[in-house]
Amino acid sequence: MTITRIVAALGIASALATQAWADLSYGTFTWDQLPGYFTPLANVAGIVALLGSVGHRRRTEPRWVAIMRVNAATYLVIVGAVYWAVLAPFTEPIFPWANAVIHGGSAVVLVLDWLVVGTRRRLTSRHLWSVLVLPGMWLGYLMVRGIVDGWVPYPFLDPARGAIAVAGSLLGIAATGVIVAGILHLLGALRGRIMAPVPAPVPAQTRPQETRPVTRGLGSTQRI
């Protein structure tokens, strides 16, 4: 599994680099705009999650690695769902393979890694909310960026729509993220219970055989 994770991480990284090069060379993107898009951020999180889990067995995997894996899978699922449902009809990727990897293939890899490999770490509802940390930091960056130069990466973040509309979009995305993360947490917990090794039965202790005297002739006994 270590080799598989390394190969998968390298594949996602190569697709991300190829897509970034195409966007910068043939699109209207600039280097300072790349951090504003959530797709590169989510794929970087996936790469870090895969490489961070290298060398750890399920029994020795740190809790932070398990959290990073399930959160990265959540981000990539949302990226893929939004892209193929909303944005794909309006895009013509220069490198279709790279576009497919960062908008779907990476999500498949991270979800399968979570469900097939699993984790022995018990994650509680408190860990579920950690899925909002990275998007929260990303939105904080975009708010500062919007104040500085007025640039926003997505139409649903455009202040011209009104504060209520923007807030509604953000709450909807946050709720979707929590729901997806909750489903992955639940599936991971069920997988852990199903695949947990069954303890070997403990042999019943045999009671020592009682001895009683047996009479052999007059005046002589033997214990059996």
Encode pLDDT of 41-79 as tens digits: 999 999 999 999 887 765 678 889 999 999 999 999 999
The model's confidence at residue 198, banded by pLDDT at 50, 70 and 90, is very low
CA 88 → CA 43, 83, 91, 92, distances in Å?
18, 6, 5, 8
In the chain, beta strands by DSSP E: 213-215, 221-223
Q: Report the pLDDT averaged over residues 19-25.
A: 93
Q: Which of 21, 16, 94 shows the shortest CA–CA distance to 50?
A: 16
Q: Any long-range contacts for 157-162 (C-beta under 8 Å, 24+ apart)? A: none
pLDDT for res 223 = 46
> Cα–Cα–Cα angle for 191, 195, 196, nearest 5°?
110
Q: What distance in Å separates the CA atoms of residue 4 and residue 71, rounded to the nearest whole number?
A: 20
Provide the whole-model pTM: 0.82
Q: What distance in Å separates the CA atoms of residue 63 and residue 187, rounded to the nearest whole number?
A: 17
- pLDDT tens-place string over residues 110-167: 999 999 987 877 888 889 999 999 999 999 999 888 888 889 998 888 888 888 999 9
